[in-house]
Amino acid sequence: MSLNLKTITNAIKEAKEKSKKRNFTQSFELVINLKDIDMKSPEGKIQERIELPHSALEKPNKICVIATGELALKAKKAKADLVIGRDELKKLAGKKKDLRKVANEYDFFLAEAPLMPLVGKILGPALGPRGKMPMPVPPTVAIAGLMKKYRKMIFVRMRNQPIIRCRVGTESMNEEKIAENVQTVLKTIEGKLKRGIKNIKTVYLKTSMGAPVKIT
């Protein structure tokens, strides 16, 4: 398999050509088919947060920060989409509808490390099944910089089958930027596999409603 940017860029161009114009901006999706994977082993349960060089979304990811004191103030200043303090967190306990709403509305969750036991107890049942359990962060973390990274992240998850699907861009994006995102995802996934590149069977690119184009 070639990770050559030119090869990936050519596949992107072909996928665009094969895709009919829609009345919305289509996303670009990467489909990685794996082989010789033991689905019961850690490599069969890949769950990975990947920071892309270029945001794959029309709008940045929505970030929820669960924190107190100075960290909460810094998160608000850095324009976190939602900041939940200890008291607000306790008020959510047992409110399934509200918990589902929070879990669905925000893409990534960052939680002050000392609050993690409480976060796990209250938010865990809603966030866990969605693969959105918060990343614990120390109270002294530079939250603005961390949020900037998470705005461009994607969450890659393998479910029951040896296939990984994820968004790597939109059709309005520069083709080389999409290709760099593809390269980043492939390198990350290879690093999680026992045999690396040898565990990758095929790789396809497609627009939301378009036909898949084989890269390799």
Output the domain CATH number for residue 199. Answer: 3.30.190.20
The answer on 156 and 121 residing in a single domain is no
Q: How many structural domains does the chain have? A: 2
Out of 125, 151, 177, a domain closes at 151
pLDDT of residue 137: 96
Out of 101, 117, 151, a domain closes at 151
User: Which residues share a beta bridge with 29?
Assistant: 167, 206
Distance CA 127, CA 99 (A): 9
The answer on 143 and 98 residing in a single domain is yes
Distance CA 143, CA 71 (A): 7
| Cα–Cα distances in angstroms (integers) from residue 48 to residues 100, 131, 140, 188, in the given order | 22, 10, 24, 9
**Helix, strand, coil % (nearest 5) of the chain?**
45, 25, 35
Both tokens of 216, joined, read 């390799």
Out of 130, 151, 172, a domain closes at 151
Per-residue pLDDT of the chain (216 residues; tens, 9 = 90+): 446 888 999 999 999 888 888 888 889 999 999 999 988 888 888 889 999 999 888 788 999 999 999 999 999 999 999 999 999 999 999 999 999 999 999 999 999 999 999 999 999 999 999 989 999 999 999 999 999 999 999 999 888 899 999 999 999 899 999 999 999 999 999 998 888 888 999 999 999 888 999 998
What 3-state DSSP class applies to 105?
Answer: helix
Strands (E) located in the chain: 27-34, 47-51, 63-66, 82-84, 108-112, 135-137, 153-157, 163-170, 200-207, 213-214
Indicate the DSSP class of residue 212.
P
The answer on 80 and 133 residing in a single domain is yes
pTM, two decimals, is: 0.84
Both tokens of 159, joined, read 């479910």
The answer on 81 and 116 residing in a single domain is yes
Both tokens of 176, joined, read 């080389």
The answer on 123 and 48 residing in a single domain is no
The answer on 142 and 116 residing in a single domain is yes
213: number of CA atoms within 13 Å, CB side? 22
Expressed as residue numbers, the domain containing 13 is 5-58+152-214
Distance CA 124, CA 51 (A): 23
The answer on 69 and 147 residing in a single domain is yes
The answer on 111 and 46 residing in a single domain is no
User: Which residues share a beta bridge with 206?
Assistant: 29
The answer on 84 and 26 residing in a single domain is no
The answer on 110 and 95 residing in a single domain is yes
* 40 Cβ contact list (under 8 Å, min separation 6): none
The answer on 122 and 192 residing in a single domain is no
pLDDT of residue 2: 46
pLDDT of residue 3: 65
Distance CA 52, CA 136 (A): 21
The answer on 169 and 135 residing in a single domain is no
Helix residue ranges, H only, the chain = 5-18, 69-77, 86-92, 96-105, 116-122, 124-127, 143-151, 175-192
CATH code: domain of residue 71: 3.40.50.790
pLDDT of residue 104: 96
